[in-house]
Amino acid sequence: MSHFEVLAGNKVMVLGKPLTAKDVAETLSLGMKKKTEPFTVMSLKKVVERYREWECEMPGIKPYYAVKCNDNIVLLKVLANLGAGFDCATKAEIDMIINENIATADDIIYAHPIKTPEFLKHAYNLGVPRATFDSKEELCKMKALSPEMEGILRISCCDKTAERQLKHKFGCDPTKDVTKLLIKAKELGINVVGVSVHVGSRCCDPSAYERAIIHMRQIFDEGILIGHPMKVVDLGGGFPGIYNEKISLAKIGKCVMAALQKYFPEKEKYEFIAEPGRYFATTPFSTAAKIFGRIEVPANRITDNENDANKIGYMYYINDGTYMTFSCKHFDGIHPIGQPLTNGNDTNEELFPATIWGPTCDSADLVESLTYHRKLNIGEWLFWDEIGAYSISTVVEFNGFPKAKLYYFADDETM
């Protein structure tokens, strides 16, 4: 028997038997025939599974979840209960963590190398102990506004295969800039307690973390000579939300643990942390959107192949789009691949080329440009699994279309 519990003011459906996100979405869709808004389901169990996997593959490395990736309060609460800290970059994120009793200031790292002055002062007054920096200007800002806050030097050490490179915006050169920054911090009386990195989002080469750890060792040695109490090894984010043959947490963990053993063998002397975002936020969230328009077109309009001019294709218009849940398409380079929520394509019915458009009047609001489906009907729901990173947190209700409603589910074991 299912029942409801409340977590962070939200109703969580606790299932009597294990169901997939698709099963749950399918059941919910039955009661939504007249609803015009899309909906998203969140599995609390998947957060717990990811956390357990983290503990297994990255033992001794405390995750500070990157709140920007998805600031859903239930996700934050579950992660806090499991023992995570939080990477915050703004006053709003810090206030949410503290005011909603998710965690205390001690469990926050202010991980923005260029901090808004008012936010920095606010964080300092609340007792947030550490912030990242990558320039002398930022050190001066910290001296003026947060003089006793500890500094973590953010270096640039990017995996060339990462789909989103962060090196252009943040991070000092790990060889050329470090000495002068460590000396400047010492002159200003700011304790540098460690080094952080972000190898890039959706990094595909686990050895990128090893390269970062080698730089960190050199910087630790230099920092100690200059008189800094170096102890924090911060591996940043970039851990994958979805695995493939090249990348998984197990592959990264193997590389990271070997490198830490080699370069930081006296474990008790150090604090090993990371700032994973997508790793925790991707898999728990899945979304469903309803088809409200369908037009038949010559298939070449979809495939761009003149040989298809006499074939049939369909353009579908759904009630969620790239201004809403699929904002991850623009902000995170994701290519969403959906499927019919009920009666999938694995029937004997003919498959047609199809385009899936978002609901707004913007012609760039394109969810899937070319996909293949049986002939779908108006009122049918489509479903996208594992879509929680940089999606829900970047929604805008452009053009007046309502955003997806969230439903939470778990099983007895998880609660």
Ligand X SMILES: Cc1ncc(COP(=O)(O)O)c(C=O)c1O
Footprint of ligand X on this chain (CB under 6 A)? 66, 69, 87, 111, 198, 201, 236-239, 275-279
Distance of alpha carbon 115 from alpha carbon 49, whole angstroms? 33
- Both structure tokens of 330: 């623009």
**Which is closer to ligand X, CB of 239 or CB of 352?**
239
What DSSP state is assigned to residue 172? B
Q: Cβ(201)–Cβ(176) under 8 Å?
A: no
Tokens 């009630």 identify what position? 319
Nearer to ligand X, 39 or 279 (CB): 279
- Our CB check for ligand X shows the closer of 25 and 111 to be 111
Residue 405 CB, shortest distance to ligand X, in Å, is 24
| Token pair belonging to 67 | 């709140």
Give the span between the Cα atoms of 321 and 403, in whole angstroms: 9
> Which DSSP symbol is given to 299?
T
Q: Write down the least CB distance from residue 113 to ligand X, Å.
A: 8
Active site residue 69: no
Shortest separation between residue 329's beta carbon and ligand X, angstroms: 16
Query: Degrees (nearest 5) of the Cα angle 85, 150, 227?
Result: 130
Tell which residue, 281, 405, 286, 408, has the closest CA to residue 338: 286
Shortest distance, position 153 Cβ to ligand X, whole Å: 13
Q: Return the structure tokens found at 68.
A: 């920007």
Contact 65, 72 (CB under 8 A): no
Q: CA-to-CA distance for 154 and 162, rounded, in angstroms? A: 18
Contact 219, 178 (CB under 8 A): yes
User: Between residues 237 and 338, which has the closer beta carbon with respect to ligand X?
Assistant: 237
79: its two tokens: 């992660």
**Choosing from 88, 140, 172, 361, which is the catalytic residue?**
361
Taking the complex as a whole, how short is the minimal distance between the CB of residue 62 and ligand X, in angstroms? 14
Question: With respect to ligand X, which residue has the nearer C-beta, 242 or 366?
Answer: 242
**Nearest distance in Å: CB 44, ligand X:** 20
Identity of the residue, 69 or 212, whose beta carbon is nearer to ligand X in the bound complex: 69
What is the number of other CB atoms lying within 10 angstroms of the CB of residue 297?
Answer: 14
Give the pairing type, strands 130-133 and 3-7.
Answer: unpaired
For helices 207-226 and 178-188, the axis angle rounded to 10 degrees is 40
Residues annotated catalytic, as ranges: 361
